[in-house]
Structure 1
């Protein structure tokens, strides 16, 4: 049903028609300004819901204040069970409509000004315990030569994800020139093309060293990527990393759903648990806002001794790592 047809259908409801008449004028102006039909329809739907609320309260647009708006929004969330994203879209439509009313001299106050929609608490990320990660990373080498070769690469990838808290996109974007095995660090290009230097655990460095001879045999066309597809000889995709992690988890007898970002979550949680240094972990994760890092502070913090080498369970040397 079109907006015009919607208005015709309520002609017998004089109060609602009166409320929606300026809405129709506003939408006609937006249509002339080349707003899409989808946008106009969404705007109408959102503003119409507030109009229905005001009609029920026997109020006009100019009688709607923040208190009335809050009641309407609460009703949309609690009674109508509308998703938060949909409510936000309706609120945006109402904000734009009141902006137009004020421009036209039809209203003096925009009730959405300064109104904050309360967001649901951000869900905590899933975390695997250290024993489960050891089960994944320390599993026996597969028996077949082909699978054994792939495991050397896969183990190196998973060790780096957990060792340095990388996003999977950052992992597959690593070039050979980004790794410094002597000083145990990585140069990572993250969101917004921002570069950061992060520590590399000893176990991750050892896994990379064991993988590199195979990488050098597989590589085609002088590809600079660190992690290479054995079949194609070119940079591995994020999807391939996801699939290989599931294969490795199944082979290790792990029932929990394993995915690359889980290893990043585990890095953050275990580092904070061992160090309590939120700023340091923020830097290593590449978060621009520390509030993003604070989601991991639900863990119990142990006393800080050293931010990385002592806090990370796989950062220390052991005799088995010496070649």
Structure 2
């Protein structure tokens, strides 16, 4: 996508964006990532209006918004980006109207292109088993206490991600008090501040217990009650978890190069292939819409089709 020279926004517009960011954070419970993305999208929109001698934000029309999105498409933005930017604009103007900052919401009729729902790559069950067994073996073979602690942590991270299907941000946010050891459950704080409970499989529970038994070897005072800590002793960062997952999968030549979200895909796909119902998988993943979870039915259907074509003599 072509870069565009930034435009310095009017202080009143900057203040408006700050108020909107506060609304997203405090009232809607949006993540820092979503707040940055939405305010960045709106900064681009308001910069476009200023650059093209368009109206101020409070006087923008539906035509102005459509022109901006069309310009984004022409300069290379993909469909998923356009969809997010349209969502940011709709959310902003609905909030502005609701709070009396504008009299009419110009984005009420704004539509965005449908996103291509590609089948996400996933692990085969055998690959998942080999990755997890390999990590457990590496932890058992480590002789240095600190190295063994790090290996047990890495093993527990992948076991928990694959067992529960939680997001990497949810894993990093886990505290010791989020465990229900008696019923083998974890309490997870998901998107929008919504809490849910997910079951923890036997291997994941044992792996987590083994890590917690040596956690004090890596944890620094600043870690607080975090379940998982990084090599420097603080609460583990999502970027570190991604490196751990990529490194673990790289040890299995046949396994695809996936991050933590790939383990989430694998968990959902393997559950559906094993006979789990769609509503249960939706609840486990914390999806607000069943349509999002239905993507995994396409994954399992595609895998069945390929197996049929490979095995049936008259496929």
State if a TM-score over 0.5 links the two structures. Answer: yes
2:259 corresponds in structure 1 to 259
Aligned to 2:123: 128
**1:196 to 1:151, Cα distance in 2 relative to 1, 3 A:** same
Per the normalisation by structure 1, the TM-score is: 0.59
Residue of structure 2 equivalent to 1:42: 48
Does residue 137 of structure 1 match 2:132?
A: yes
Return the alpha-carbon distance in structure 2 between the equivalents of residues 136 and 175 of structure 1: 25
Cα displacement (A) at 1:255: 5.2
CA–CA separation in structure 1 for the residues paired with 2:148 and 2:11: 62
Count matched residues.
Answer: 232
In structure 1, distance between residues paired with 2:143 and 2:184: 29
Unaligned runs of 5+ in 1: 1-30, 49-65, 97-111, 302-323
Residue in 1 aligned with 2:280? 280
Task: Give the superposition deviation at 1:185.
Answer: 0.7
Matches within 5 A, 1:1-323: 39=45, 42-43=48-49, 83=77, 84=79, 85=81, 116-139=111-134, 140-141=137-138, 143-146=141-144, 147-221=147-221, 223-229=224-230, 231-254=231-254, 256-300=256-300
Cα gap change, 1:176/1:122 in structure 2, threshold over 3 Å: closer, same or farther? Answer: same
Structure with the bigger percentage of helix: 2
Check the 8 A contact 1:165/1:268 in 2, yes or no.
Answer: yes
Query: Structure 1 residue 153: deviation in Å?
Result: 1.2
Find the aligned partners of 1:241 and 1:183 in 2 and give their Cα distance: 26
Aligned-residue RMSD, C-alpha:
3.9
Question: Following TM superposition, by how much is the alpha carbon of 1:44 offset from its aligned partner in structure 2, in angstroms?
Answer: 8.0
Q: Find the aligned partners of 2:291 and 2:157 in 1 and give their Cα distance.
A: 28
Q: Could you say if the C-alpha distance between residues 46 and 274 of structure 1 is closer, same or farther in structure 2, counting changes exceeding 3 Å? A: farther
When Rg is computed on C-alpha atoms for both structures, the one with the higher figure is 1
Question: Counterpart in 2 of 1:310?
Answer: none
Q: Which residue of 2 aligns with 1:16?
A: none
Q: Deviations over 1:156-206 (max 9, x none)?
A: 111100101110111111111111233111111111121111111011001
